[in-house]
Amino acid sequence: MSTTSSAPAQTQKSMADYASEFGLKPDEYQVILDRLGREPNYVELGVFSVMWSEHCSYKSSRMHLRKFPVTGERVICGPGENAGVIDIGDGQACIFKMESHNHPSYIEPYQGAATGVGGIMRDVFTMGARPVALLNALRFGEPSHPKTKRIVEGVVAGIGGYGNCVGVPTVAGETNFHAGYNGNCLVNAMCVGLADADKIFYSAAPEPGLPVVYFGSKTGRDGIHGATMSSAEFSEDSEEKRPTVQVGDPFAEKLLIEATLELMASGAVAAIQDMGAAGLTSSSVEMAGKGGLGITLDLDKVPQREANMSAYEMMLSESQERMLAILKPGRENDGYRIFEKWGLDAAVIGETNTSGHIVLKHKGEVVCDLPLGPLSDDAPLYDRPWVEPDMEAPLASVPSAPVGDALLTILASPDMASKRWLWEQYDRHVMADTLADSATGSDAGMVRVHGTKKALAVTSDCTPRYVKANPYEGGKQAVAEAWRNLTAVGADPIAITDNLNFGNPERPKIMGQIVRAIDGMAEACRELNFPVVSGNVSLYNETNGVAIPPTPTVGAVGLLADYDQRVGFHTLKAGQVLVLIGETAGELGSSLYLREVHGIEAGAPPKVDLSVEKRNGDFVRDLIRSKTAKAVHDLSDGGLLPAAFDMASASGVGIELKNSTALEDHVFAFAEDQARYLIAVDEASAHLVLAKAAEAGVPALTIGVAGGSDLSLTGVMSLSLDELKTANERWLPEFMG
Amino acid sequence: MKAAVLVFPGSNCDRDCKVAVEVTTGAQVSMVWHQDTSLPAGLDLIVVPGGFSYGDYLRCGAMASLSPVMAEVVKAAQRGVSVVGICNGFQILCEAGLLPGALMRNAGLKYVCKPIELTIENRNTRFTSAYGDKSSVWMTQGNGDGNFFADAETLKAIEDNHQVVFRYVENPNGSVNNIAGIMNTEGNVLGMMPHPDRAFEPALGSADGAPLFHSLMRVLQAA
């Protein structure tokens, strides 16, 4: 074939050498040889290697992902498309997904995080939705690690720099710090969008003979082989991989959103796909492959940012803010009119056909001709060997500590300290529909469904220390906590997106974590009627052989039929009575109390009883709907006392708690038993709430009253809210100082 | 009332402004594309919305101020039509010379998004008459370049002419004299960094932006 399909000159390497360099295993390369009946050329090898990368093919996780429930009465489209789609009534749909950008963010924090936000937004608007909310789940190394501060600074600036400019509010998120992420931070970004249920766009090419239109930014040499890089472990020289990281342009993304939605509204779009990981390769292969067709592209027509780009570079580039659309016959001019209005590059670069092949032409020659079947449908699928992962045994005993000192320590710890420094850099109010954001005092972010009384509640959750201690229970807990957070604001939990972050799946213990966490998550999803509609898997999160703590992040969406029925934990008033819903057995294994106060990271994590979770949550949601619960906070990290602090602090009124249980005070204060809520009710309705709870079989206990300006546990400790607030607010700004 | 909201590439509060004006005043609001060379006839209000016009590349508001539609906005302002620029819109009005001063990078060098308390410095304007005797108001703001600056002479003129409309109670960005919003000497052009378009009903956390639009209605009703 031509020079443009060949490898760089002056090398003595064989195609097999290149295959290994591109991350293909010898047996995978052999499959390619068998399927083609010949040796691939350099371009073809590049196309195979990205399509068969872990990132694009899910080859290690696919068979386990099948365990997730993916259907439900509100599910319009489950996993397999760019994002999941749920029915939110009145002919409206919510489209959402979470995706990782871990490796790029570690190598180049600002651009890595920024393009993570850009990529996930494209997944959502590609399906016809206007993005209306962003969330992020961030895990950084320990604060004392020399790289941590720089990574936090860059990631936060990148998320803000991109989302703020595009004009989508960042309403919720979570941030952890742990030595386990020293060599491999996690940046998981989630986007939630709204569309009309009868105007959802898919990627499958519907028929042959249709024009394939490229629009958006030009293609450059950035991000080449990004998907392959993301599918390998890190080592000391990882920073040399910086050229594989893409550069984002949020202004271009904003224009792309408007142009895409306008093009869709014009009726010209037959199928559409964004160019994300593996760029032009995966978008064209997926569109033609899903449609059971073939596709021919003329690479000379691709808008190029740099001169003399080779076919290989164009196909492997991960330049940002690009889309590929298949238009209905004769609608090219509608496209050009819209692209010109928004100042975007555009070109018809090819056509669909019935060949079943992807054929690429460059400089008058065919530089790639591959059957589509093997590329996507026949991608490798591994049943990787796995063993039961390491698990923490229950603790024989838990040391005690002065409760007030312990509370101050926990509130000032990196995981629990206020993240104000971080979220004040995110525009949380653009679009003027934000009802609750990170500043509000709410267990979930909430945005109105524009122009209606409905609202979406959104949250992101995972407790990595639980998953590490017991992947199965930890997997259940991540789903249950997301469900609880949506419940705590009064929403009906609808569906989740998952972002599974793990180490190297070729190691049986890591594979064991993956398998068991998925088992736990799948069970929780089934029991809570909380299907998985989209997701992303990020493996090989290791540096120098050390894996991250297993972190299967859950992004979840719930619906409020009437946003006037929402509640937060910032609405507590003096005189109201505090009721603890749910049973406290005293679970302190793998708790924040143990880690932050005693430096112990051990013990079995709290058990998650899903039927109890559902029963207690449904009870609390009813109290919210009947306006009986005036303020609600779920109990999670740190247990009761930190939750009481959150409520008191956000509401500006003190709380006096009393331990009338048989539990020791530090256990009562900091146990992390699941399925619990702290709710505030008017004094007059307290007895009724307790009676209703007894009737429903829900444990409920009056534990205090609101008033004054201190947080106290009668006879044990009393601290002013000001002092506690100072401790809680001080850490992050001082660290970043 | 007849109102128009300008739309530049990168505007992202254009819809917010349209909805805020519609909800608070019932006005008929048209969206005007930046390349248009004429404005709808009979406008009472032009809103220059927030966002990142032209990506904030070069300098915030600099390129937008040269868009074809801005020449028409300048003419309309000279005729006495009310013009409100919010956030990026304030930056554009300064760049276009409709308002004095400039907006620089925030003193903390970071984007800052938070609810903020403002004092109403001049109640006797077409933008503030409906605030009554309310001493302070809350709105949210979100920007990276909200640090208002004017040289000493200009600043003295702004203060002497009572052109300061809103001042920060706690200065979030280093703005000189805690200035959050100013108007021109004629009193028909207002620029402000905080967002009344994100604070026009209680569900949004504050409805303190609504009286700004009510004030503009009042002027019309009195006329």
Q: Verify that A369 and A498 share a domain, yes or no.
A: no
Residue A144: exposed, middle, or buried by beta-carbon count in 10 A (0-12, 13-18, 19+)?
Answer: exposed
| CA dist., res. A253 & res. A431, Å (int) | 17
Residue B100 belongs to domain spanning: 2-222
Q: Report the amino acid identity of residue A253.
A: E
ipTM of the complex: 0.97
**Residue B147 to residue A95: CA distance in whole angstroms:** 38
In a domain, A184, yes or no: no
- Quick one: closest CA in B to A438, which residue? B114
Q: Could you list the beta-strand ranges (E) of A101-226.
A: 130-140, 170-177, 186-196, 211-216
Separation of alpha carbons A672 and A89, rounded Å: 36
What is the reported pTM?
0.96
Is residue A376 located within the same domain as residue A465?
no
How many domains does chain A divide into?
2
**Is B112 in contact with A166 (Cβ distance < 8 A)?**
no
A-chain residue closest to B88, CA distance? A165
Q: Is A225 a catalytic residue?
A: no
**Whether A566 contacts A111, CB under 8 Å:** no
Q: Are A319 and A305 in contact (CB under 8 A)?
A: yes
Show which residues of B are catalytic. 87, 195
On whether residue A582 sits in a domain, the answer given is yes
Nearest to A429 among B10, B15, B140 (CB): B140
Contacts with A255 from chain B: Cβ below 8 Å: 9-10
Smallest Cα distance from B87 to chain A, Å: 12
CATH number, domain containing residue B205: 3.40.50.880
Please give the pLDDT value at position A244.
Answer: 66
Instruction: Please answer yes or no on whether B9 and A425 come within 8 Å at the CB atom.
Output: no
CATH at residue A309: 3.90.650.10
Say whether residue B163 is in contact with chain A using an 8 A CB cutoff.
Answer: no
Burial of B194 (0-12, 13-18, 19+ CB in 10 A): buried
Closest CA in chain B for residue A567: B203
Classify residue B26 by burial, with Cβ atoms within 10 Å: 0-12, 13-18, 19+. exposed
Q: Which of A565, A561, A349 is nearest to A455 (CA)?
A: A561
Residues A251 and A354 in one domain: yes
Question: Does A103 map to a domain?
Answer: no
According to DSSP, the β-strands at A532-538 and A492-501 are parallel
DSSP code string of A563-590: GGG---SS---TTPEEEEES------TT
| Residues A651 and A527 grouped into a single domain | yes
Cα–Cα distance, A318 to A225 (Å, whole number): 8
* A369 and A495 together in one domain: no
Torsion of CA A340, A346, A352, A358, to 10 degrees: -170
Query: How does A416-441 read in b/e, with b if 16+ C-beta sit within 10 Å?
Result: bbbbebbbbbbbbbbbbbbbbbbbbb
**For B12, which residue in chain A has the nearest alpha carbon?**
A167
Question: Rounded to whole angstroms, how far apart are CA atoms A417 and B121?
Answer: 37
Phi and psi for A143 in degrees, rounded to 5? -55, -30
DSSP label of A597: I
Q: How far is CA A100 from the centre of its chain?
A: 6
Query: Is A101 among the annotated ligand-binding positions?
Result: yes
Q: Does B142 touch chain A (CB under 8 A)?
A: yes
Put simply, the answer to whether A343 touches B9 (Cβ < 8 Å) is yes
Interatomic CA distance for residues A301 and A224, integer angstroms: 19
What range defines the domain where residue A318 resides? 1-71+202-380
CB contact under 8 A, B204 and A432: yes
Contact state of A432 with B110 under an 8 Å Cβ cutoff: no
CATH at A493 = 3.30.1330.10
Write out chain B residues lying below 8 Å of A164, CB-based: 52, 111, 113, 142, 144
Question: Given this model, what pLDDT does residue B30 score?
Answer: 98
Any known ligand binding at A538? yes
Residues of chain A found within 8 Å of residue B14, distances taken between Cβ atoms: none
Query: Residue A123, annotated ligand binder?
Result: yes
The answer to whether position A15 is within a domain reads yes
Pick left, alpha or beta for residue B54 (phi over 0 → left; psi -120 to 50 → alpha; otherwise beta). Answer: left
Torsion sign (Cα): A528, A531, A534, A536: positive
Q: What is the pLDDT of residues B113-128, one digit of tens each?
A: 999 999 999 999 999 9
Continuous segment of H or E residues that includes residue A26: helix A26-36
pLDDT beneath 70, residues of chain B: none
Is A427 marked as a binding-site residue?
no
Nearest to B55 among A165, A430, A448 (CB): A165
What's the one-letter identity of residue A647? Answer: M
Same domain, A278 and A247: yes
Rounded to 5°, angle at Cα A68 from A67 and A69 = 120
Which among A252, A430, A435 has CB closest to B13?
A: A430
Does residue A456 share a domain with residue A369?
no
Instruction: State whether B197 and A432 contact (CB < 8 Å).
Output: yes
In degrees to the nearest 10, what's the CA dihedral of A358, A359, A362, A363?
A: -170
Report CA-CA distances (Å) from A41 to A372, B17, B105: 16, 55, 52
Give pLDDT < 70 ranges for chain A.
1-7, 9-11, 226-244
Question: 3-state class of A616 per DSSP?
Answer: helix
A101, A357, A570, A633: the catalytic one is A101
- Is A464 in contact with A502 (CB distance < 8 Å)? no
What residues in B contact A560, CB-CB < 8 Å? Answer: none
**How many domains would you assign to chain B?**
1
User: Is residue A103 marked as binding?
Assistant: yes
Bridge partner residues of A33 (DSSP)? none
Flag whether A507 is in a domain: yes
User: Which of A160, A251, A434 lies closest to B55 in CB terms?
Assistant: A251
A318 is in an annotated binding site: yes
Question: Can you spell out the DSSP letters for A370-427?
Answer: EEHHHHTTT---------PPP-PPPPS------HHHHHHHHHTSTTTS--HHHHTTS-
pLDDT value at residue A12? 74
Q: What is the pLDDT of residue A1?
A: 43
Output the pLDDT for position A221.
87
Report CB contact under 8 Å: A439, B54.
Answer: no
* A579 and A710 fall within a common domain: yes
Asked if the Cβ–Cβ distance from A425 to B195 is below 8 Å, we say: no
Quick one: A371 and A413 in the same domain? Answer: no
Q: Say which of A424, A432, A435 has its CB closest to residue B113.
A: A424
